[in-house]
Amino acid sequence: MFRFTNDRSSRSTGDGAKGKRAIVVGAGFGGIAAALRLRARGYEVQLLDRLEAPGGRAQVYRRGGFVFDAGPTVVTAPFLFEELFELFGKRLEDYADIVPVEPWYRYQFPDGREFDYGGSLDDTLEQIRSFDERDVEGYKRLVDMSERIFDKGFTELADAPFHRFGAMMKTVPALLKLRSYKTVHQLVASFIKSEHLRQAFCIHPLLVGGNPFDTTSIYSLIHFLERKWGIHFPMGGTGAIVNALGRLMGEEGVAFRGGAEVEELVVENGAARGVVLASGERLSADLVVVNGDPPFLYKNMIDRRHRRRWTDQRVDRLKYSMGLFVLYFGTERKYPEVPHHTIVLGPRFKGLLDDIFHRQTLADDFSVYLHRPTATDPSMAPEGKDSFYALVPVPNLDADLDWDVEGPKLRDRLVSFLDERILPGLSETITEDFFVTPRTFESRFLSHKGSGFSIQPVFTQSAWFRFHNVSEDIDDLYLVGAGTHPGAGMPGVLCSAKVLDRVVPAPPRTTAVRARESASAR
């Protein structure tokens, strides 16, 4: 069992006064951030996960000297991690080394053309000028627009509670003014003429589980998020951030318990009062925060008689994000010409997205996000070798696909595709490869329909329409993570935990909490 040492846990209970207890179910970034935020406010916090190690989708796999981050690799708003350390008067930089990445992405098109994207605004304008001069002015206007959306959608609303309809109504005029009824693709296409650049600049919804042709243009704020803070990577991989947060939790007395699957939420008089583990053990608490997938929570962990809003039918009617097929592999040689993040686009764009999101069929062609962390940190593979993952969006489990059959076939097709398009000789040099499919997301993370990012970020599933951070059905139950407001992606789930600071009542200040406050004030 993976446990952090609680070298200062005595601080919270040392005076013998019983503090308020919180249980957080799920140690993804949302759950870790929630645990730390509750701890900073004086709660005694237990963080549980069915997996042995924390990190959720940011698990780390190690094979034959290669290090593979399982999930997130593009760090877009590092300050959201910094904030968690600042809560305790500490600095992230003392725990992890997060460095900028350049270019942010390389787009490789099927006609052989490449577009390197990143740097300052002037750098990007220069990149656009040499790619398609017609789009220089349009891009400036796109950035202006995404900044306006960012000011509203991120700065104002990302960590604002949205469990009251009144809050939603107040924001509607601003959302209409920002044309949030448009999709990301419509917005981008209204500024950009080149078909290649349209694809490049409307890819962002896919990073949070949405189809650019269906996702509300509020998510164009990600474009500005990247522009404002750039793209970063932690040395050692995303797992290094998980370890840094793990150390912080250990120091601050957040008890992490791995291998602890929660089977049922304990509800007493309409309020969450603890959880029952798969082992039958019952843990009590004054409040519960769930970071697991909300559809799974409502359908499987809470008895029907406690659910008025989130009935099984309502949960099933939601639109779910796509599934992911991810092939992790090492290579016996290095590919120094391949940058850290490459998006290798296939021959079809809209048609492929229709296959994935609407027709729910596994297409013969695909587009791939290729991660080569060894471009930034060579220590993630043995000397002279590279570590990679290739991510292919695929239909979720609504599709009638047998992944035991389709998985190995897709693996072979993907290796040939990469060999042909970007990694010559891959078929001979590939080593230590293994893959995950939507079935893995279902069984490992308990993701409903095996979706990669919980429910889709369409307008009718955003803000008030998304799973609320404050449960509508049960008192003292809070939700954080990808399926909740504001949505998926590391910045999204870290912001979902910030909402808790506004909606979870402060615990009574015990002598221990007061002692800690005066110690940090000194």
Ligand X SMILES: Cc1cc2nc3c(=O)[nH]c(=O)nc-3n(C[C@H](O)[C@H](O)[C@H](O)COP(=O)(O)OP(=O)(O)OC[C@H]3O[C@@H](n4cnc5c(N)ncnc54)[C@H](O)[C@@H]3O)c2cc1C
Q: Closer CB to ligand X, residue 341 or residue 516?
A: 341
Q: Does 328 bind ligand X (CB under 6 A)?
A: no
Stretch that binds ligand X, among 304-312, 411-419, 444-452, 510-518 (CB under 6 A): 444-452
Q: Which is nearer to ligand X, 192 or 497 (CB)?
A: 497
Nearest approach, Cβ of residue 425 and ligand X (Å): 25
How far is residue 73's CA from residue 385's CA, in Å, rounded to a whole number? 19
Here's the x/- map for ligand X, 351-390, by CB under 6 A: it reads as ----------------------------------------
Is 468 an interacting residue with respect to ligand X (CB under 6 A)? Answer: no
Which residues have a Cβ under 8 Å from the Cβ of 254 and sit 6 or more positions away?
A: 4, 6, 35, 36, 39, 45, 46, 47
Quick note: the x/- pattern for ligand X over 305-324, rule CB under 6 A, is: -------------------x
Query: Does residue 245 belong to the site contacting ligand X (CB under 6 A)?
Result: no
Q: Using CB atoms, what's the residue nearest to ligand X?
A: 28
b/e string for 114-130 if b means 16 or more Cβ within 10 A?
Answer: ebbbbbeeeebbebbee
Q: How far is the CB of 518 from ligand X (least distance, A)?
A: 33
Is residue 295 at the binding interface for ligand X, with CB under 6 A as the rule? no
46 binds ligand X (CB under 6 A): no
Nearer to ligand X, 192 or 391 (CB): 391
Q: Give per-residue burial for 456-494: e unless 16+ CB within 10 Å, then b.
A: bbbbebbbbbbbbbbbebbebbbbbbbbbbbbbbbbbbb
Residue 453 interacts with ligand X (CB under 6 A): yes or no: yes
- Which residues, in sequence order, are bridge partners of residue 341? 371
Its sign, for the CA torsion 397, 403, 406, 408, is positive
* 291 contacts ligand X (rule: CB under 6 A): yes
User: Would you say 131 or 467 has its CB closer to ligand X?
Assistant: 467
Is residue 445 a contact residue for ligand X (CB under 6 A)?
Answer: yes
Strand partners for 62:
67
Stretch that binds ligand X, among 22-30, 128-136, 139-147, 394-402 (CB under 6 A): 22-30
Single out the residue of 12, 46, 73, 469 in contact with ligand X (rule: CB under 6 A).
73
Give the contacts of 144 (CB within 8 A, at least 6 positions apart): none
| Nearest-angstrom CA–CA distance, 383 and 143 | 41
Using CB under 6 A as the binding rule, whether residue 23 contacts ligand X is answered as: no
Among 23-31, 379-387, 456-464, 514-522, the segment contacting ligand X (CB under 6 A): 23-31
Position 117, amino acid: Y
Taking alpha carbons only, the member of 290, 286, 266 closest to residue 276 is 266
For ligand X, which is the closer residue by CB, 104 or 417? 104
Site for ligand X contains 329 (CB under 6 A): no
Residue 274 within binding range of ligand X, rule CB under 6 A: no
Which burial class, exposed, middle or buried, applies to 19 when counting CB atoms under 10 A from its CB (0-12, 13-18, 19+)?
A: buried
> Counting contacts by CB under 6 A, is residue 482 touching ligand X?
yes
Helix (H) or strand (E) holding 485: none
Nearest to 84 by CA among 509, 494, 485: 494
Which 3 state secondary structure label does DSSP give 266? strand
Minimum Å distance from CB 76 to ligand X? 6
**Segment lying near ligand X (by CB under 6 A), choices 13-21, 43-51, 176-184, 198-206:** 43-51
Instruction: Report how far apart, in Å, the C-alpha atoms of 413 and of each of 74, 224, 427 are.
Output: 26, 35, 11
Take residue 398 and report the two structure tokens written for it. Answer: 């609504």
| Segments in 153-237 forming alpha helices (H) | 165-177, 184-189, 195-201, 204-207, 221-229
Using CB under 6 A as the binding criterion, the count of chain residues that bind ligand X stands at 36
Give min distance, CB of 293 to ligand X, in A: 6
Terminal alpha carbon distance of the chain: 37
38 binds ligand X (CB under 6 A): no
Nearer to ligand X, 184 or 446 (CB): 446
- How far is Cα 227 from Cα 223, in angstroms, rounded to an integer? 6
Q: Which stretch binds ligand X (CB under 6 A): 46-54, 92-100, 266-274, 398-406?
A: 46-54
Task: State which of residues 20, 21, 37, 57 lies at the interface with ligand X (CB under 6 A).
Answer: 57
Asked if 395 and 323 touch (Cβ cutoff 8 Å), the reply is yes
Question: How many residues appear in the chain?
Answer: 522
CB 506, min distance to ligand X, A: 23
If one asks whether residue 210 binds ligand X (CB under 6 A), the answer comes out as no
Place of tokens 């840094």: 244
Is 220 near ligand X (CB under 6 A)?
no
Residues that bind ligand X (CB under 6 A): 25-31, 48-51, 56-58, 71-74, 207, 261-262, 291-292, 324, 326, 391, 445-446, 452-453, 481-482, 488-490, 493
